[in-house]
Amino acid sequence: MMSDTFEPKIVAFVCNWCTYTGADLAGTSRMQYPANVRIIKLPCTGRISPLFIMKALEQGADGVLVSGCHPGDCHYTAGNYHARRKYTIFREMLHFLGVEPERLFFSWVSAAEGRKWADLVAEVTDTVRRLGPRRSAWGEPVEGIAAPRLSANPVPFEAPAGTFAAQAEAMREKAKALLAGGEVGTVIGYEQGTLPGTARPAFVSTPEEVDRLVWNEHCHQNLAVYAARKPAKPGKVALVVKPCDERSLVGLLQENRLAREDVVLIGMACHGVQSEGALAPRCAACQTRTPALADPVIGEATPPTATADPRLEQIARIEQMAPAERWNFWQGHFSRCLKCYACRAACSLCTCERCLAEKAQPRWIPAPPDGAGNLSWHAVRAWHLAGRCVDCGACSAACPADIPLYLLNLKLAQVVKDAFDYEAGRDPAAAPPLTTYREDDAQEFIR
């Protein structure tokens, strides 16, 4: 390309049966279009992983085009329906991370639509050419643009006096009975942390040890993280769970990580937990105060007060930012990431035995804790939790670098709710949203 104008590199992922054949038709019909697109052929849009889009951006593509069969025409019946759901979420995620939406294109091009393909390539090339080169490499901040800071107004913490003590007593009694009766081998609950005003997970296996267990506003950890792990002591495990933790278990049940009868749940009616002296932001608008799955439910919950979720306002503010500001906002946070994977370890739904981050062949996520590696890691993590994250807050709480991971997860939960009317962790019998589809799923973003 010898002209002075910027010639973008555009990667097109297309399905073999419709779009690739449509592109061939454009050729046999000698339709002229710009030479900027590099086609990578896959059998089906079902095989075109959204992570390929990420990989193309990571490798420096200026624009990405994904194209396959029109709904109803998939050679494999439903690949494009599944793909459409994935792109719906992934695209929103990239936007939220600050990738300019104008660089991503989705289109259905049939084997008969040579004209559509030629026009599409012309339009995509023109659009990206006008946008110019990407302003920064993958994982690098855009120079000269300040990243706005966000803070949320704290909501004061209030719980009815004496409730925690009474609940704690009842919980210990139940735990003792379970251990004494041999029904379980281990009870996982909370104990006093090293510092005052903290609690930490506790594993007790004899009735005598039960007195260590506490229940108070500092018990923020999600103990469901231990549910799918093999206990050190023989016998079943009983978990002390809040209603939000219980939603993790719903996810684990959906994904065959355990069976309901494998675990005893001591459900705690919830008054919210504390974070930095105030009510944890995720508790402010929480409507689920009573466990639904638990075997016994201990205590009675205060009816939820109608408070707005302060985090939604944060999300709205991020969305109002210009893409470059948004990009820099996230690069600023991700630049602190150490790749310690504490977020992964704390997550009750990160149950893979070998995380994609550790897969070396091929390397999905650049290993070093640098710009590209950190961005790809957080994008993959959020993507893998889309439609699964139950908003327990464990990842953000565990992050030593204070990266507001919850914002990303919560945003995707919103997208899933809006697009597919699905909330994670509510119904163990429901099909996870990225494993099913509706023929009439929205597709405004697909040309």
Partner 1 sequence: MARVGVFICHCGENIARTVDCARVAEYAATLPGVAHAVDYRYMCSDPGQRLIETAIREHGLTGVVVASCSPHMHEVTFRRTVARAGLNPFLCEMANIREQCSWVHEDREAATAKACELVRLMVEKVKWNTALEPIHVPVTRKALVIGGGIAGIQAALDIANGGREVILVEKGPSIGGHMAQLSETFPTLDCSQCIMTPRMVEVKNHPNITLYTYAEVEKVDGYIGNFAVTIRKKARCVDEALCTGCGECQSKCPQGKLKTSVIPNEFDLGLSRRPAIYVPFPQAVPNVPVIDKEHCRYFQDGKCGVCQKVCPAKAVDFTQTDQVVTEQVGAIVVATGYDVMSSGEYGEYGGGRYPDVIDGLQFERLLSASGPTGGEVKRPSDGKVPETVVFIACAGSRDRSHGVPYCSKICCMYTAKHAMLYKHKVHHGQAYVFYMDIRAGGKNYDEFVRRAIEEEGAVYLRGRVSRLYQKDGQLIVKGADTLSGQPVEIAADLVVLATAIQARPGSDALAQMLKVPYDGYGFLSEAHPKLRPVETNSAGVYLAGACQAPKDIPETVAQASAAASKVLGLFSMEQMEREPTVSVVNERTCIGCFDCERVCPFGAIEHREIRDRRGNLLKVVSHVNEGVCAGCGACATTCRSGSIELRGYTDEQVFAQIAAVGV
Which of residues 414 and 436 has its CB atom nearest to partner 1 in the complex?
Answer: 436
* Binding of partner 1 by 112 (CB under 8 A): no
For CA atoms 334, 337, 341, 346, the dihedral sign is negative
Helix runs in 266-400, H state only: 281-284, 310-320, 323-334, 342-346, 371-385, 394-398
Stretch 358-387: interaction string toward partner 1, x if CB under 8 A: -x-xxxx-------------------x---
Shortest spacing between CB 17 and partner 1, in angstroms: 10
The size of the interface with partner 1 (CB under 8 A), counted in residues, is 62
Token couple for 25: 């038709």
Among 65, 118, 178, 297, binds partner 1 (CB under 8 A): 118
Which of residues 280 and 424 has its CB atom nearest to partner 1 in the complex?
Answer: 424
Stretch that binds partner 1, among 161-169, 339-347, 355-363, 401-409 (CB under 8 A): 355-363
Which of residues 276 and 353 has its CB atom nearest to partner 1 in the complex?
Answer: 353
* Binding of partner 1 by 99 (CB under 8 A): no
Shortest spacing between CB 439 and partner 1, in angstroms: 9
* Binding of partner 1 by 354 (CB under 8 A): yes
Cis peptide before 303 (omega within 30 of 0): no
CA 18 – CA 20 distance, rounded (Å):
6
Shortest spacing between CB 10 and partner 1, in angstroms: 9
Footprint (CB under 8 A) of partner 1, residues 24-63: 24, 26-28, 30-33, 35, 38-44, 46-49, 52, 55-56, 59-61
Which of residues 53 and 266 has its CB atom nearest to partner 1 in the complex?
Answer: 53
Shortest spacing between CB 9 and partner 1, in angstroms: 6
Token couple for 106: 């989705």
Which of residues 28 and 287 has its CB atom nearest to partner 1 in the complex?
Answer: 28
Which of residues 283 and 385 has its CB atom nearest to partner 1 in the complex?
Answer: 385
* Binding of partner 1 by 133 (CB under 8 A): no
* 8 Å CB contact between 392 and 245: yes
* Binding of partner 1 by 83 (CB under 8 A): yes
CA 422 – CA 4 distance, rounded (Å):
49
* Measured torsion, CA atoms of residues 271, 273, 279, 284, in degrees rounded to the nearest 10: -60
Beta strand 278-279 with 274-275 is antiparallel
Q: Nearest-CA neighbor of 436 among 189, 86, 128?
A: 86
* Binding of partner 1 by 296 (CB under 8 A): no
Footprint (CB under 8 A) of partner 1, residues 382-421: 384
* 8 Å CB contact between 79 and 44: yes
* Binding of partner 1 by 225 (CB under 8 A): no
Which of residues 260 and 336 has its CB atom nearest to partner 1 in the complex?
Answer: 260
CA 97 – CA 50 distance, rounded (Å):
15
* 8 Å CB contact between 1 and 35: yes
Residue 161 φ/ψ, nearest 5 degrees? -60, 140
* Binding of partner 1 by 76 (CB under 8 A): yes
CA 76 – CA 310 distance, rounded (Å):
44
What string of DSSP letters covers 169-202? Answer: HHHHHHHHHHHHTTS-SEEEEEEE-SSTT-EEEE
Return the DSSP state at 447: -
Shortest spacing between CB 392 and partner 1, in angstroms: 18
Q: Nearest-CA neighbor of 101 among 389, 367, 348, 323?
A: 323
Residue 371 φ/ψ, nearest 5 degrees? -55, -55
Half-sphere exposure (Cβ direction) of 410: Cα atoms closer than 13 Å: 21
Footprint (CB under 8 A) of partner 1, residues 257-276: 257
Residue 11 φ/ψ, nearest 5 degrees? -100, 130
* Binding of partner 1 by 287 (CB under 8 A): no
* 8 Å CB contact between 387 and 50: no
Shortest spacing between CB 378 and partner 1, in angstroms: 15
Shortest spacing between CB 446 and partner 1, in angstroms: 17
Footprint (CB under 8 A) of partner 1, residues 301-340: none
Shortest spacing between CB 271 and partner 1, in angstroms: 34
* 8 Å CB contact between 252 and 227: yes
Which of residues 17 and 330 has its CB atom nearest to partner 1 in the complex?
Answer: 17
- Percentages helix, strand, coil for the chain (3-state, rounded to 5) are 40, 15, 45
* Binding of partner 1 by 430 (CB under 8 A): no
Among 82, 129, 172, 282, binds partner 1 (CB under 8 A): 82
Stretch that binds partner 1, among 74-82, 218-226, 271-279, 284-292 (CB under 8 A): 74-82
Q: Which residues bind partner 1 (CB under 8 A)?
A: 1-2, 9, 11, 20-21, 23-24, 26-28, 30-33, 35, 38-44, 46-49, 52, 55-56, 59-61, 75-79, 82-83, 86, 118, 255-257, 351-356, 359, 361-364, 384, 431-432, 434-436
